[in-house]
Amino acid sequence: MVDITQKQSTHRTAVAQAVVKVSRKETIEAIKKGTVPKGDVLSMGRAAGFLGVKKTADLLPDCHPLPVEYCGIDYEMEGLEIKIIITVKTFYKTGVEVEAMHGASVVALTMYDMLKPLDKGVEIHYIKLLKKTGGKSDIGNQ
């Protein structure tokens, strides 16, 4: 584990995404109309994502535990794809990129799990960092 005892705390932000791709138009409609039998996919995904962000250091061996001071989750739907955009912030010695990416994957997996009875062809794509600020090297921040 990297030794961060001597680092200064700075304001850190990370934005990550995951894309859930369904196989049928009806799946998207069921999400929008709130008729998925297992419940409200977007709200339950949000709850799971918040918890997932906070549990990142519990699952990834090398990851420092840190105070998650903000987490926000938005959804963008287009065609058969639902893009999950997750923003995490802290004031600490290390960044929150992995937390944001882990949160995005947990939201995506929660959606997969809830949609499974409706659609056997759901896949998860493009879990990646969109932006980070506050560390030595900012990304995606033009």
Judged by CB under 8 A, which stretch of 24-32, 75-83, 94-102 contacts its own copies? Answer: 94-102
CB of 79 to its own copies, least distance (A): 18
Torsion-angle region of 68 (φ positive above 0: left; ψ -120 to 50: alpha; else: beta): beta
Q: Does residue 125 belong to the site contacting its own copies (CB under 8 A)?
A: yes
Mind giving me the DSSP string for 2-62? ---TTPPPEEEEEEEEEEEE-S-HHHHHHHHHT--TT--HHHHHHHHHHHHHHTHHHH-TT
Residues serving a catalytic function are 113
Binding site for its own copies (CB under 8 A): 1-5, 11, 38-40, 43-44, 46-48, 50-52, 54-55, 57-72, 89-93, 97-98, 101-102, 105-106, 108-110, 112-114, 116-117, 120, 123-128, 137, 139
